[in-house]
Amino acid sequence: MADGSIRVTLIPGDGIGPECIESTRRIIDATGVGIEWEVCEAGESVFKKGIPSGVPKETIDSIRRTRCVLKGPLGTPVGYGEKSANVTLRKLFETFANVRPVREMPGVPTPYTGRGIDLVVVRENVEDLYAGIEHMQTPGVAQCLKLISRKGSEKVIRLAFELARAEGRKSVACATKSNIMKLTEGTFKRTFEDVAKEYPDVEAWHIIVDNCAHQLVKKPEQFDIIVTTNMNGDILSDLTSALIGGLGFAPSANLGNDVAIFEAVHGTAPKYAGKNVINPTAVLMSGIMMLRYLGKFEAAATIENALLVTLEEGKYRTGDVVGYNSGLAASTTEYTDAIIANFGRTPTTTTLRQYKPLQIPRISSDLVAVRPASRRVVGVDIFVESALLPGEIGPSLEALAEGTALKLKMISNRGTQVYPDKGTMTDCVDHYRCRFIARDPNADISDEDIYALVQRVASQHRWMHIEKLPEFDGAPGFTKAQGED
């Protein structure tokens, strides 16, 4: 803007949202940083007006203008809309990374007090099971596609390394389940190993995600930055917020190339709404992250120092820390006033990091990012709904494939080979994955070969989807069933 001020879209949100946002806005304004707030609606009130996304056009237009959002939590009222307005906002603006820092807060006692927890979970924010591609395969079998792209992984992994540099952090751990999901979680791990080579100044290591959860409870101080896929990050970051005193202290930033959305990890906590008792710190710390994102490092430090002094002194702490009925709890407004009154003071037990501007990675928007030198199709998986037993459907499919370019290799049920029988004790459902491979091991199976096979299978069985079995640069682009040779 001509006067040098910065515009930010402000969404008060639902439940305790408006109180948290009002507290944060007052504190930020009191620094004199000069933010022009564009107050916009999203969430419950919008759903109730009949807008199924929960986000009206005026709000989207404002975000397109300001490219920066500070928001309270949003609720989805029962009976309105199918999708969460939060997820809509994150996806609409391709905020591909969700950055969730936690640190030990003075005056907030936890079982970990004194251990110096100070870590960030960087969660991929768009892909994975959250792509929301779900299908009922049969009336009794549901499927959710777990989509992980090399490009989506690279963006968030680069951001994690850039964050390490911006915040002077020493290590980035990559948490995946690549030992089980070798292709999806494995893509994330392999991308991490490639990107890490470009950041030799930052220690890079991999940890299996279940052990990561275990280590976070046992020895959280060993972690600096953890980068991970969407679902893993969702769970790990709730765990990490519990380590430092709960959701009242857990901020987050949704970062993309064009838009950034800052919000607490917590939700609308409806039982506390309108009571002036909740802890606004998580939204306030999201606001501090926003100020740094906007390059307002001084205002961010003023607020963070004042917040830490307020907690250190312990005279004003909210009910989630000291107990709502203890008689010691400060109201949200008293706590807010105390923080403003502490502007200009520095904490005695905590020092702030030397923050530098974060470089958000820009990755080519080419549609196809990975091109193999060679590729071919070596077979096809046909998914069939059938009440037949494995010993009945197997011979039937073998007979149907006679005379085609493909032959039945095996059938699995719930991931385990059940035909040819390997003596497993799989409890079968009416959903079979039937794997056909090329009779000629050097063939590149054509679409016509597949259509011919599917037509034959369909003459006797109900199929619901097919997957080609690709080979890229000589390596199989599919995994084997349990028990498959």
Active site residues: 130, 177, 210, 234
Candidates 67-75, 229-237, 303-311, 409-417; binding stretch for ligand NAP (CB under 6 A): 67-75
Cα–Cα separations (whole angstroms), residue 476 to 158, 177, 245: 27, 19, 46
Closer CB to ligand NAP, residue 16 or residue 195? 16
> What are the beta bridge partners of residue 434?
382, 411
Can residue 266 be called a binding residue for ligand NAP (CB under 6 A)? yes
DSSP letters for 360-397: -------S-----S-EEEEEEEEEEE--S-HHHHHHHH
Residue 280-319 contact track with ligand NAP, rule CB under 6 A, x = bound: --x-------------------------------------
Closer CB to ligand NAP, residue 12 or residue 73? 73
Q: Binders of ligand NAP among 432-461, rule CB under 6 A?
A: none
Contact (CB, 8 A) for 24 and 251? no
Closer CB to ligand NAP, residue 191 or residue 268? 268
Choosing from 263, 337, 381, 449, the residue that interacts with ligand NAP (CB under 6 A) is 263
Candidates 193-201, 205-213, 278-286, 333-341; binding stretch for ligand NAP (CB under 6 A): 278-286
Candidates 68-76, 179-187, 198-206, 475-483; binding stretch for ligand NAP (CB under 6 A): 68-76
> Measured over all CA atoms, what is the biggest interatomic distance in the chain, rounded to whole angstroms?
84
> Residue 396 and residue 461: Cα distance in Å, rounded?
9
Contact (CB, 8 A) for 308 and 106? yes
Closer CB to ligand NAP, residue 120 or residue 457? 120
Choosing from 12, 75, 347, 390, the residue that interacts with ligand NAP (CB under 6 A) is 75
Closer CB to ligand NAP, residue 89 or residue 434? 89
> Residue 165 and residue 376: Cα distance in Å, rounded?
42
**Paired tokens of 72:** 């309270």
Closer CB to ligand NAP, residue 118 or residue 320? 320
> Residue 472 and residue 123: Cα distance in Å, rounded?
28
Cα–Cα separations (whole angstroms), residue 156 to 127, 149, 252, 383: 11, 11, 15, 34
- Shortest distance (Å) from residue 56 CB to ligand NAP: 16
Question: Tokens 């279940």 correspond to what residue?
Answer: 210
Candidates 3-11, 125-133, 266-274, 393-401; binding stretch for ligand NAP (CB under 6 A): 266-274
**Paired tokens of 198:** 């470009």
Choosing from 60, 74, 330, 481, the residue that interacts with ligand NAP (CB under 6 A) is 74
Q: Binders of ligand NAP among 312-351, rule CB under 6 A?
A: 320
Peptide bond into 420 cis (omega under 30): yes
Can residue 73 be called a binding residue for ligand NAP (CB under 6 A)? yes
Can residue 278 be called a binding residue for ligand NAP (CB under 6 A)? yes
> Residue 411 and residue 145: Cα distance in Å, rounded?
20
Candidates 146-154, 206-214, 264-272, 381-389; binding stretch for ligand NAP (CB under 6 A): 264-272
Can residue 108 be called a binding residue for ligand NAP (CB under 6 A)? no
Candidates 167-175, 259-267, 299-307, 407-415; binding stretch for ligand NAP (CB under 6 A): 259-267
DSSP letters for 283-328: HHHHHHHHHHHTT-HHHHHHHHHHHHHHHHH-SS--HHHH-TTSS-
- Shortest distance (Å) from residue 246 CB to ligand NAP: 6
Can residue 18 be called a binding residue for ligand NAP (CB under 6 A)? no
By the 10 Å C-beta count (0-12 exposed, 13-18 middle, 19+ buried), 139 is classed as: exposed
Question: Running DSSP on this structure, what letter comes out for residue 479?
Answer: P
Can residue 44 be called a binding residue for ligand NAP (CB under 6 A)? no
Choosing from 279, 302, 305, 386, the residue that interacts with ligand NAP (CB under 6 A) is 279
Cα–Cα separations (whole angstroms), residue 294 to 6, 72, 132, 259, 360: 8, 19, 32, 11, 12
Query: How far is residue 334 CA from its own chain's centroid?
Result: 34
Choosing from 149, 229, 241, 268, the residue that interacts with ligand NAP (CB under 6 A) is 268
Q: Binders of ligand NAP among 219-258, rule CB under 6 A?
A: 247-248
- Shortest distance (Å) from residue 191 CB to ligand NAP: 27
Closer CB to ligand NAP, residue 73 or residue 220? 73
Q: Do the strands 68-71 and 260-264 form a parallel or antiparallel pair, or are they unpaired?
A: parallel
Contact (CB, 8 A) for 484 and 413? no
> Residue 85 and residue 74: Cα distance in Å, rounded?
7
- Shortest distance (Å) from residue 114 CB to ligand NAP: 23
Cα–Cα separations (whole angstroms), residue 38 to 292, 297, 395: 19, 22, 67
Choosing from 16, 105, 236, 290, the residue that interacts with ligand NAP (CB under 6 A) is 16
- Shortest distance (Å) from residue 263 CB to ligand NAP: 5
Closer CB to ligand NAP, residue 238 or residue 313? 238
Size of the chain, expressed as the number of residues it contains: 485
Binding-site ranges for ligand NAP (CB under 6 A): 16, 73-76, 86, 247-248, 263, 266-269, 278-279, 282, 320
